Amino acid sequence: MTTTRYRIERDILIEAPVDVVWRTVTEPSQITQWFAAEVDLVVEPGARGHLGFGDQGGPVLVEAVEPPTRFSFWWNQPTGAELEPGNAVLVEFTLTAEGAGHTRLRVTESNLEPLAWASADKEHYAEEHNEGWGHFLGRLAQLHGPRA
């Protein structure tokens, strides 16, 4: 776990092969089991979608899809702004095979620095999301057995 001032990084070792974890991270029916309650998402670069978390959530814009090792999207743009690359937070999942049948999954949120938010809001976001990703990655790992 690493949190720099405005960058969130979490990783976890999951007891499942990379292709299985890839599906868990990218398929809407899988995403609803560990992350967002509502998922409207097509996993292809440039696709627009939505992630819903009860009364929270919002649009996402898919940035990169490199099966089975990298998936990223933009979200949480400033209030009133249209979601575009660069004007929001970039979430990136990186998957790496580690040992027989295990996957190291790293999630990173970046691009807070240039956003037109107050410093205190950026710091709160980083703290909140660092904690949140720990929770959600734990839920994801439970889908594939105990944490290693």
Out of 3.40.50.300, 3.30.530.20, 3.40.50.1360, 3.40.50.10800, select the CATH number for domain 2-142: 3.30.530.20
Domain definitions of the chain by residue range: 2-142
* pLDDT interval class at 146 (50, 70, 90): low
- For 70, the 3-state DSSP assignment is strand
Mean pLDDT of 107-130: 92
Model pLDDT, residue 4: 52
pTM, two decimal places: 0.92
Spatial neighbors of 118 by CB under 8 A, at least 6 apart, are: none
Q: How far apart are CA 14 and CA 142, in angstroms?
A: 9
The crossing angle, in degrees rounded to 10, of helices 18-26 and 119-142 is 130
The answer to whether residues 104 and 96 touch, using CB atoms and an 8 Å cutoff, is yes
For residue 84, report the phi and psi dihedrals to the nearest 5 degrees: -140, 155
Model pLDDT, residue 3: 42
Mean pLDDT of 20-49: 97
Task: Show the tokens assigned to 135.
Answer: 């929770």
With 80 as the cut, is the pLDDT of residue 130 above it?
yes
Task: Show the tokens assigned to 143.
Answer: 């889908």
Q: How far apart are CA 16 and CA 50, in angstroms?
A: 27
Interstrand relation of 48-53 and 70-75 (parallel, antiparallel or unpaired): unpaired
pLDDT in tens, 60-100: 999 999 999 999 999 999 888 899 999 999 999 999 999 88
- For 56, the 3-state DSSP assignment is strand
Model pLDDT, residue 147: 44
For residue 102, report the phi and psi dihedrals to the nearest 5 degrees: -120, 155
